[in-house]
Amino acid sequence: MNAKTFPLVPDSASDLAPQIDALMLAEIGFSVFFTILIFALVIGFAIKFKRKSEHDVTPHIHGSLALELAWSLLPFVMILGFFVWGTSVYFKAYATEPQGAMEIFVTGKQWMWKVQHPEGPREINELHVPVNRPLKFTMISEDVIHSYFIPAFRVKRDVLPGRYTNFYVTPTKTGKFHLFCAEYCGTQHSGMIGSVYVMEESDYEKWVAGGDESMTARGEALFSQYGCVTCHLPDNKGRGPSLVGVYNSMQKLQNGTMVKADDAYLRESILNPRAKIVDTYQSIMPTFQGQISEEGLLQIIAYIKSLEQEEGVQ
C-alpha cells in the first residue's frame, strides 16, 4: 500500500483546504509536542526524585508564584491563539460571502442529494462546478438532518429541515471528488453519496448550456400555478404587497419591527404567512405548508429575487 492508494489526507481541491490542513497540522504538532514533553518530564522526574534510602525525606516546597502564573497563562494564550485562528477559518467558510459568488442550491432527502443551478441544470448525487469560481451553497432538507460533506474541499455542514444553511468555497483543482452524507439519517445513509466534478470554465459553460429552464423560470411558473400572482401584483395594487425589489430589502412589520426579506424570511412567509405580516397589509394569505417542495420554494425565491433586477418597474 503506497501513499497513492492510501492517502493520509484527502485531495486538496479548494481554497479552504490548505488553510484547514495548516490548522490541523499545527494542532496535531502542538498536541504531540506537549504529550511527549509531559511524558518525558514525568519519567525523568520519577527517576531523578526517586527515594534513594530509608532516611530520604521529602523537602518542604514553598510555591513559586512566577512559575504557577507561567504554566497557567502560557497555555491559555497558546490555546487562545488556536481559537482565534480556527474561528477566522470557520468564518471564512461559513459566514463570509465572497464577491460575485455563483449560487448552488442543495436539497437533502432520504436518501439523495438534489442540486439546482440557477441557470437551469438539476442533478442528483452529482455536482458540477467550474474551477476557480467562488461558490455559495444554500442547503435545506426535505426530511431529517443530513450533512453535506466534500472532503477534498474541506467543507462539511449540516443540512437541516426548515432552515437554510450556507457555506462558501472556491474549487482550485479540476477532477472528480467524493461527496458524502456525514450525518446518520436512516437505513440508506451510507448510500447517500455522490461525486463532485470540478471542470474548466469552458467545459462548465458547455455543461450548463445542456440544462433546461432556469430556476427563475420555474419559480415564475409556480408563482402563477399557486395563485401568488393574483394578489402580489407588481404595481402594489393587489391584496398583497408587490414583491418587486423586496429581496434582501428591509420590511416594516405590523408590530413595528423591521426584518430583512432574505431567503429564510421569504420561505417562512410562504409556509407560515401569519408569522410576520408586513405593515398595512391584512393577514389573508393562505399557508402553503406541505404543498410546495423545498426545491419549489427555492425556485419561487429565485423568481422573487429576479424581480429586483428589472429596472423601471415600481
Interface with ligand CUA (CB under 6 A): 108, 111, 146, 181, 183-185, 189, 192
| Alpha carbon distances (Å) from 72 to 65, 66, 68, 276 | 11, 10, 6, 50
Nearer to ligand CUA, 23 or 193 (CB): 193
Least separation in angstroms between CB 140 and ligand CUA: 13
Contact 130, 201 (CB under 8 A): yes
DSSP letter for 198, please: E
Ranges of beta strands (E only) in the chain are: 102-109, 112-116, 122-124, 126-130, 135-141, 146-150, 155-159, 165-169, 175-181, 194-199, 250-252, 258-260
Name the minimum Å distance from CB 181 to ligand CUA: 3
**Which CB sits closer to ligand CUA, 192 or 215?**
192
Q: Which CB atom, from 125 or from 138, has the smaller least distance to ligand CUA?
A: 125
CB of 75 to ligand CUA, least distance (A): 37
Q: In angstroms, give the least distance from the CB of 293 to ligand CUA.
A: 17
Which residue's C-alpha cell is 472556491? 170
Any idea of the CA torsion for 294, 299, 301, 302, to the nearest 10 degrees? 140
Looking at beta carbons only, is 34 or 184 nearer to ligand CUA?
A: 184
Residue 53 DSSP SS3: coil
In the complex, the smallest distance separating the C-beta of residue 178 from ligand CUA, rounded to whole angstroms, is 14
By three-state DSSP, how is residue 80 classified?
helix
Four-CA torsion 27, 167, 165, 305, nearest 10 degrees: 160
CB 79, min distance to ligand CUA, A: 33
Q: How far is the CB of 110 from ligand CUA (least distance, A)?
A: 7
Residue 228: other Cβ atoms inside 10 A:
21
Query: Hey, what's the cell of 198?
Result: 470540478
The residues facing 90 across adjacent strands are none
Residue placing its CB nearer to ligand CUA in the complex, 140 or 215? 140
Nearer to ligand CUA, 108 or 171 (CB): 108
Judged by beta carbon, residue 111 or residue 223, the one nearer ligand CUA is: 111
3-class secondary structure per residue, 226-275: CCHHHHCCCCCCCCCCCCCCCCCCEEEECCCCEEECCHHHHHHHHHCCCC
Least distance in Å: CB of 141 to ligand CUA? Answer: 8
Nearest residue (CB) to ligand CUA, 115 versus 244: 115
